Structures are given as structure tokens and as C-alpha cells.
């Protein structure tokens, strides 16, 4: 029984009975259909009650059959059409049928055609509405929510599209009502001109519908482009995550045997080899092993920074002080290449940064200066206070003009020395850039011939408040406060207190009494 109710034959027959019952009721009592009655006395055999009963029974059976089979029917293309444009198409077609209905009111066959179109479209709208509500696919089959998720209403494009859709929909509804009224006002004495009426329909109904269709096509293209872009970004992120995990795993696997090599080289050095060639080989092996260890460390840091798997602890840091410490660590390297460090002017520049990451950024930048700066040149470090920012600018002249662009220098495995004769992995600026982004800062480089400039913008931090202890008062250790205090009064020397001498005997008490 359930299978019979769910069949399309039952629902189709029920919709047909409902449509016929409605036609009989309309042609029996409702004007102007009663006036247009092409069936003569046949329609008089029926009354409106019989037609209404057939319509009610047919709609109940058709609705029950549709709801029982809604889950299966919801996957069909007819029930996956956009619900908004289904309504637009139905309203437009009904307004168009009204004109043809009025034009062919004296022809019974024309009545059959027009009523068939109205019945089919009405039954389809009711059936697909029930299917979508039962299967809960109504929201998924409406086009515009997807548009406004891609183009939100807080953007001009989203507001513009919303205004166009609302205005075009209102014009379409008003045009459909106007064209139907224009067709209904015609009579045998004042017949409508089909060509002029079609022009009116196209102007009032067709153009708003065409506008909605064009906007929908454009929005669909935008959604497709946006989805393709999101898929490309997701694929790129997935590839970067895979590469980062691969690099992390490989570097971990390489670091363990490399540590053993470094340790065994140290043990060989401690043996005191008598053969100078073996000592030289051991020294070269140790140096290359240490360099490989540094490269692996840089590669691991680059993969972590690129994936964002680095903890960040922001705190106020005195930038002038940390720059001085970095420059002090490179004193020997500066002296070896004859470089002159010109540091920033004394002052207080508090920035909000992670101390460890900021140290690594400055260490990479100054390390690049030591590697590529022209011997005997000056290295300038300047600090500038901007609104909510502190800008550090580090500039120097290189030994040879840099052929790479600024964007290429910020990439992975790119060196200013194209011949790759100098030490380095080509990851220093890349790591510094990623660490700066994680802290909410920015790093940029500029190349002008042999002039290299690196700029770091850090968020300025306010000085932390001095905690106050309840019940105690501690003056601030400032020079102004010390000068304002009252000098200590010098007391006049007083006369010493005279104390009578007293003898203290230590010994046996009985012996002292006997001597007494």
C-alpha cells in the first residue's frame, strides 16, 4: 500500500483530478470564465460543490503521495532547480498565459491549452515545495544566500546586488499584475491587440526577469571563480603543510646521525693525532658537519615558521638595548671585515614583540651584513618613532651589486651571492619575515645597486605601570627627587658617657669565697 501511495502514477492522477475539479468549479460560478464557457450545457451538469470536492480530495491524495516519496524525489533535477527562479518563471508564464487566454477565449481548444499550462505549473510548484520542505533542501536550492556569503552585505558589491534583486523582483510582480489586469479588461467590444500586449508584457515582466537572470549568471560566475580560488588556496596550504611535515621529519632523522658525527669528530680531536693530514681532514670534517648542522637547523626553523607552529609570547622590549647587544655579539666579525657599526641614537624605544623571535630576526639581518657588506664600509642602524610603530632601518653597501629583486631575496633558498661561494642557506630573510609576521610586525627589504636596506616595523608598546605596595612608600630613584630632598643634618659631638670599671671573675665560686 505504501509503495502504491508513493508511486508517481498516484500523485499524477490525484493532481489531474484536483485540476479538473478546480476547472469545473471555476467555469460553473466564477466570472469571466462562466461567460467564456465553451462547453455549453455540459458545465451546467456540474456544480461548484462537486468541483470543490474533487479538488480537495485530489490535493490531499497528491500531497500525501508527494510527502511519502519526498526523500527519493528530492534528488531529481526538477526538484533541484533554484526555488527563486522557479517562482519567477511561474509568475512570468502565468502573466503571459493570461493574454493568450483572453485572445482565444472563443476557442475551446485554446482554453484547454492555457488551462493545461496553468495546471501543470501550479501542480509542479506545490509538489516541489512539499518535496523541498520534507527533505529539508529548500535552503540549499535557493541561489541568493550563496551569493551573499561570497559577497557579504558589508561590502558595496553585496549591497548593490541586493538592491538590484529587490527592485527587479518588485517590478516583475507589479508588471505581472498590470498585464493580467490589462488582459482581463478586454471584451468582445474591445479586443486586445496581441502584439501590443506582448510588448507590454516584455517591458513590464520580461525585462525585470531578464535582469534577474543576468545578475544571477554574473553572480554564479563570481561564485565559481571564488570557489576555484579557495580550492587553489586550500591545495596550496595542504601542499605547504605536507612539505613542512616532510621537512620536519627529514631534518629530525638527519639531525640524529649528524650529532653523532660531530661528537665523534670531537673525540678524534682529543686523541692528539700526530699525522698533520689526519688532523686537517678532521678539522675540515668538523667544520662541514657544523655547517650542515646549522643548515638543518635553519631548514627546520623555516618549516616551523612557515607553518605557524612557533609559540609567540609578546611583551614590552627595549629595542635600543637589544640592538646594542646584537652589535656587541658581532664585534669580532665586524673587526675581521673592517666594518664600522653606526648604531641608533640613545633613547628609549619600547616595542611589543617576542624576545626570542626578535633576537633571531636581528641576528639574521646583522649576519647578512657581515657576510655580504663591503669590507671597510659603514653599517647604519636607525630607529624612527611612527604613530603606533617603531621602525628599524638597517642599511649597508654590498661587495657586489645585488642582481636579485627584493621579492626574490625574501623567498626560500635565495642568496644575494648568486655564485653561492659564501656560507649560508638562503633562509635567513625568509625565517625573519615569517617570524615578524607571527609577531604582528613586518619586514621589507630594498635593493638599489650595491645598497641593501632592511626595514622592520614593530608595534610600539607603552611602558608598564609601576606597581604600588599598600602601606609602604618608596621614592622613585630619579636625580630630580634626590636633589629635592632635605640634606642630612650633622649632629654636634656629645660628651662621652663615663662608665665605672667593673671586675668580673670567672672561676669556682667556693674558691673565691675561701680567698675572701
pLDDT level of residue 29 (50, 70, 90 thresholds):
low
CA distances from 341 to 49, 138, 381 (A): 104, 70, 8
Q: Are residues 279 and 344 in the same domain?
A: no
Q: Which of 36-45, 312-321, 403-412 has the lowest mean pLDDT?
A: 36-45
Q: What is the tens place of the pLDDT at every residue in 60-110?
A: 988 998 888 888 888 898 889 999 999 999 999 988 888 887 777 777 777
Q: Are 365 and 424 in a shared domain?
A: yes
pLDDT digits (tens, 9 = 90+) for 451-510: 899 999 999 887 655 555 544 444 444 433 333 334 444 444 444 444 444 333 333 434
Is the same domain home to 319 and 303?
Answer: no
Could you tell me if 158 and 260 lie in one domain?
no
Of 340, 373, 339, nearest to 451 (Cα)? 373
Query: Among residues 201, 217, 237, which one ends one of the domains?
Result: 237
Which pLDDT score is estimated for 212? 93
Total domains in the chain come to 3
Domain identity same for 262 and 127: no
Q: Say how far apart CA 145 and CA 223 lie, in whole Å.
A: 11
Domain that holds residue 87: 2-237
Residues 63 and 135 occupy one common structural domain: yes
268 lies in a domain? yes
Q: For 221-325, where are the E strands, in sequence order?
A: 315-318
Retrieve residue 276's grid coordinates: 698533520
Give the mean pLDDT of the chain: 78
509 within a domain of the structure (yes/no): no
User: In this predicted model, what pLDDT tens digit does every residue of 210-238 receive, in sequence order?
Assistant: 999 999 999 999 999 988 998 998 888 88
pLDDT digits (tens, 9 = 90+) for 392-424: 999 999 888 887 777 778 775 555 555 444 555
Report the C-alpha dihedral over residues 339, 344, 349, 354, rounded to 10 degrees: -10
Q: Distance between CA 401 and CA 417 in Å, rounded?
A: 9
Q: Does residue 151 share a domain with residue 22?
A: yes
Which one has a higher pLDDT value, 288 or 352? 352
- One domain for residues 348 and 257: no
Domain boundary among 219, 237, 255: 237
Say if residue 224 is exposed, middle or buried (CB neighbours under 10 Å; 0-12, 13-18, 19+).
Answer: exposed
CATH (domain of 324)? 3.30.565.10
Q: Are residues 225 and 277 in the same domain?
A: no
191 located within any domain: yes
pTM of the model: 0.53
pLDDT score at 464: 59
The confidence band for 172, taking pLDDT boundaries of 50, 70 and 90, is: very high
Do 351 and 283 fall into the same domain?
Answer: no
Q: What is the pLDDT, as a whole number, of residue 175?
A: 92
- Are 180 and 255 members of one domain? no
Domain assignment present for 403 = yes
| Beta carbons of 161 and 219 less than 8 angstroms apart | yes
Say what the pLDDT of residue 382 is: 92
Co-location of 290 and 332 in the same domain: no
Amino acid at each position: 500500500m505504501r509503495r502504491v501511495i508513493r508511486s508517481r502514477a498516484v500523485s499524477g492522477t490525484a493532481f489531474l483530478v484536483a485540476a479538473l475539479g478546480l476547472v469545473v468549479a471555476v467555469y460553473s460560478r466564477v466570472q469571466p470564465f462562466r461567460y467564456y464557457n465553451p462547453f455549453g450545457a455540459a458545465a451546467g451538469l456540474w456544480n461548484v460543490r462537486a468541483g470543490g470536492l474533487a479538488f480537495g480530495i485530489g490535493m490531499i491524495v497528491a500531497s500525501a503521495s508527494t510527502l511519502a516519496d519526498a526523500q527519493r524525489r528530492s534528488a531529481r533535477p526538477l526538484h533541484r532547480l533554484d526555488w527563486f527562479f522557479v517562482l519567477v518563471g511561474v509568475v512570468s508564464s502565468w502573466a503571459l498565459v493570461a493574454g493568450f487566454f483572453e485572445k482565444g477565449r472563443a476557442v475551446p481548444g485554446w482554453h484547454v491549452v492555457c488551462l493545461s499550462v496553468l495546471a501543470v505549473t501550479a501542480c509542479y510548484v506545490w509538489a516541489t515545495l512539499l518535496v523541498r520542505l520534507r527533505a529539508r533542501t529548500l535552503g540549499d536550492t535557493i541561489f541568493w544566500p550563496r551569493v551573499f556569503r561570497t559577497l557579504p552585505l558589508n561590502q558595496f558589491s553585496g549591497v548593490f546586488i541586493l538592491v538590484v534583486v529587490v527592485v527587479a523582483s518588485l517590478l516583475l510582480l507589479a508588471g505581472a499584475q498590470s498585464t493580467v489586469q490589462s488582459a482581463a479588461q478586454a471584451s468582445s467590444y474591445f479586443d486586445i491587440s496581441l502584439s501590443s500586449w506582448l510588448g507590454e508584457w516584455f517591458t513590464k515582466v520580461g525585462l525585470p526577469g531578464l535582469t534577474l537572470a543576468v545578475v544571477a549568471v554574473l553572480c554564479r560566475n563570481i561564485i565559481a571563480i571564488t570557489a576555484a580560488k579557495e580550492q587553489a588556496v586550500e591545495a596550496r596550504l595542504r601542499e605547504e603543510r605536507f612539505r613542512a611535515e616532510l621537512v620536519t621529519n627529514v631534518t629530525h632523522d638527519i639531525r640524529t646521525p649528524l650529532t653523532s658525527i660531530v661528537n665523534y669528530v670531537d673525540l678524534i680531536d682529543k686523541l692528539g693525532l700526530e699525522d698533520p693530514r689526519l688532523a686537517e681532514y678532521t678539522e675540515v670534517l668538523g667544520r662541514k658537519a657544523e655547517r650542515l648542522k646549522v643548515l638543518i637547523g635553519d631548514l627546520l626553523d623555516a618549516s616551523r615558521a612557515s607553518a605557524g607552529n612557533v609559540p609567540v609570547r609578546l611583551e614590552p622590549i627595549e629595542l635600543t638595548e637589544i640592538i646594542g647587544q646584537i652589535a656587541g655579539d658581532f664585534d669580532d666579525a665586524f673587526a675581521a671585515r673592517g666594518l664600522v657599526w653606526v648604531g641608533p641614537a640613545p633613547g628609549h624605544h619600547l616595542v611589543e614583540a617576542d624576545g626570542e623571535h626578535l633576537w633571531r630576526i636581528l641576528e639574521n639581518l646583522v649576519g647578512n651584513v657581515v657576510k655580504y657588506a663591503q669590507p671597510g664600509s659603514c653599517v647604519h642602524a636607525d630607529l624612527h618613532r611612527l604613530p603606533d610603530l617603531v621602525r628599524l632601518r638597517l642599511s649597508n653597501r654590498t661587495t657586489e651589486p645585488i642582481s636579485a629583486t627584493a621579492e626574490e631575496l625574501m623567498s626560500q633558498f635565495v642568496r644575494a651571492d648568486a655564485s653561492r661561494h659564501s656560507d649560508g642557506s638562503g633562509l635567513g630573510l625568509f625565517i625573519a619575515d615569517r617570524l615578524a609576521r607571527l609577531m604582528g610586525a613586518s619586514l621589507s627589504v630594498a635593493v638599489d645597486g650595491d645598497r641593501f636596506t632592511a626595514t622592520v616595523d614593530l608595534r610600539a608598546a607603552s611602558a608598564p605601570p609601576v606597581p604600588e605596595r599598600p602601606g609602604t612608600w618608596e621614592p622613585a630613584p630619579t636625580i630630580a627627587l634626590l636633589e629635592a630632598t632635605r640634606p642630612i643634618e650633622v649632629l654636634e659631638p656629645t660628651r662621652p658617657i663615663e662608665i665605672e670599671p667593673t671586675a668580673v671573675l670567672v672561676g669556682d665560686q667556693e674558691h673565691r669565697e675561701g680567698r675572701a
